Chains A and B, each alone.
Chain A
Amino acid sequence: MAPTQAEGKTLLIHEGRLLDPSQGLDAVGSLLFKDGRIEWWGQGEPPVKPNAVISVPGLVVCPGFIDLHCHLREPGFEDKETIATGTRAAARGGFTTVCSMANTRPTVDSRATVELVLHKARTEGSVRVLPVACVTQGQQGKQLAEFGELAEAGAVAYSDDGRPVADARLLRHALEYARALGRPVLEHCEDPALAAGGVMNESALAHRLGLKGMPAAAEEAAVARDIALAELTGAHVHIQHVSTAGAVELVRREQQSRRVGTVTAEATPHHLMLTEALVLGPKGGDITAALGPGAYDANAKVNPPLRAQADVEALRQALAEGVIQAIATDHAPHTLADKLCEFDQAASGISGLETAFGLVMGLVHASVLDLPTLVARLTSGPARIIERGLADQGLSGLGSLRVGAPADVTVFDPNAEWTVDPGQFASKGKNTPLAGWRLKGRVMATIVGGGIAYAAPGLAVQKAVEVAGA
């Protein structure tokens, strides 16, 4: 995490709309950072004269976004992404903390790999990286990873994302260990036999296109199993990238009748905002019309697949209600060659860090959510899910603007419009179905530990008050 604040230096965010759902704060004010922590917030003059000032009139200042789910690809797949490029993309997207998935090469299943990720993040990264470690060694689904040592090395959660744990007995024991360590297991829910060979949502559209579908039931069967195991073990299961109305309903029912275990869920911007119609081309289309030249665009291939409009509605409803606590990107960068091939053979995933905020702001503009709720799902919601891991890393208070919390802040303009241009991405992954889309809502600055990780062009940082240090 490169942009930390030098000792003794202070930075003032001046006169913005301070928005912190964790403490019900929504008021115009200023925010002072010192030594990488939040020193003060309030109206009027700060208690000390700052070394530097960023004026943000009309902009929203909120806790830095936390992404529970992203693929930084390093080590092993540096052609797709590195920790350096992935965290730069995160900073541009307003994320001050990202949880990196363990499906690298080698996988993150040892103290050495956890430390490698942390070391790279410290020396080359732009934002905080919290490693998620494997559930099973090498994600082979055969033998549990060393949960205790991994937690001690810095892992905040466990996940075999990419290769879901098929063996329910093994997952049961994983949950028992995770519970003892106060960490969640993040589950990519997919019944492997039902989903086998599927490349998009199973639907009339898949039939029309002659593509093999993954039925919603493949996700729902796995969610149901995981909920049962959460009950059995009393552990915390976090359902990754929920994508179907049925899965949402299972989670909702469990939360309403909660007995022992904890079940939380995340949804991705693309599952909240896009449907399977994008497989027909970047402009979507009608199932009964002739296919356009953009059909079978592999940039719309993602796992879980983009679903139907009814699923999108259910996800939005659940996000508004809090059944889904977190928005997570599932940022999955790929090379051009990974995507520039037949739909069946193309890699799954969307490079999402840099478009996430602009995309989900659509929920606020469409009055599905209010702005504080949206910010909560990007900050306090995800922070809560990895609370214990944050505490162990000395990061308590992350996801809030409380005094003493890490000085991680995102500044955004909710109404600024911009056009998605993958060529401008900091991420190596240019794979997005959103190229050319107009989005409304733009990140203006990302501050990590009191240092500026990203500032949009035109946002002035005044260092006029250097005298204070003299």
Chain B
Amino acid sequence: MGGKGFFVAEKVILTEADIRRAVTRIAHEIVERNQGAGDLVFLGMHTRGVPLAHRLAQRIGEFEGVEVPVGALDIAFYRDDIPTRGAPPVRPTTIPESIAGKAVVLVDDVLYTGRSIRAALDAVIDFGRPRRIQLAVLVDRGHRELPIRADYVGKNVPTSRSEEVQVRLQEVDGLDAVVLVTG
């Protein structure tokens, strides 16, 4: 990646080890809060929520011996900013099994305004009526525009609006790191 321009400054917020520890902790919290992993379905939000969801499921598999189904959710169809920002690229949504009556955990990399989560809630409900929906994010950077909060957070990072939080994951970017980009 590196700097895109001369004045771009990057600061590492989470290292590879930090990310690994955060995922492990969230996996434990999810199992604890839901009293087991039996009813769980993970839905990762494109793009980087998907590998995160798989990592969570893998971790739970390791210590609980339960295989949590993982799906991928594309929220482009549910966004509220299509008329102003243009049509974002869309990828197919895959829902592993019926979510009716299940405990769905939405997984995303960064929680910011909350608008993506609002769209994701609409998307999930189009597939059925889950018993409950929870939200897990790797980073919460604040600046909410909707009454939404995460149930599981890897790290809270105070930011200014001019900054950008970039999550990089092995599966997508070839390495694990979360950086704060200023400029």
When A and B assemble into the complex, do they touch directly, with CB atoms less than 8 Å apart?
no
Residues of A within 8 A of B (CB): none
Residues of B within 8 A of A (CB): none
